[in-house]
Amino acid sequence: MEPETAKLLAAGLAIGLGAIGPGVGIGILAMGALQAIGRNPEAANQVQTNMFIAIAFAEAIAIYALVVALILLFVV
């Protein structure tokens, strides 16, 4: 295998596998928030605030995977 091919494959796997977890996590998080709002509409503001904070933390993991993929592409 050529080194350039290995580098591209590693970068693709880094972002591909690194985005699966946050994607699933955000989906589960949104499902739980929508169920909570459906059961208790008065708490919608508090649930939405906490949901957005949790989404930001989950999305940070995908951004770290993107940074690793970019480092593999352009630095290594």
Give residue-wise pLDDT tens across range 9-53: 999 999 999 999 999 999 999 999 999 999 999 999 999 999 999
- What is the per-residue pLDDT for 76? 82
* Cα 2 to Cα 45: distance, rounded to the nearest angstrom: 53
- Higher pLDDT among residues 76 and 56, named by residue: 56
* Cα 48 to Cα 56: distance, rounded to the nearest angstrom: 12
Strands (E), the chain: none
CB 14 within 8 A of CB 68: yes
Domain carrying residue 11: 3-74
**Residue 1's pLDDT band (boundaries 50, 70, 90)?**
confident
* Cα 56 to Cα 76: distance, rounded to the nearest angstrom: 29
Number of domains the chain is built from: 1
pTM across the whole model? 0.81
- CATH code, 70: 1.20.20.10
Q: Is 5 exposed, middle or buried (0-12, 13-18, 19+ CB in 10 A)?
A: exposed
- What is the per-residue pLDDT for 14? 94
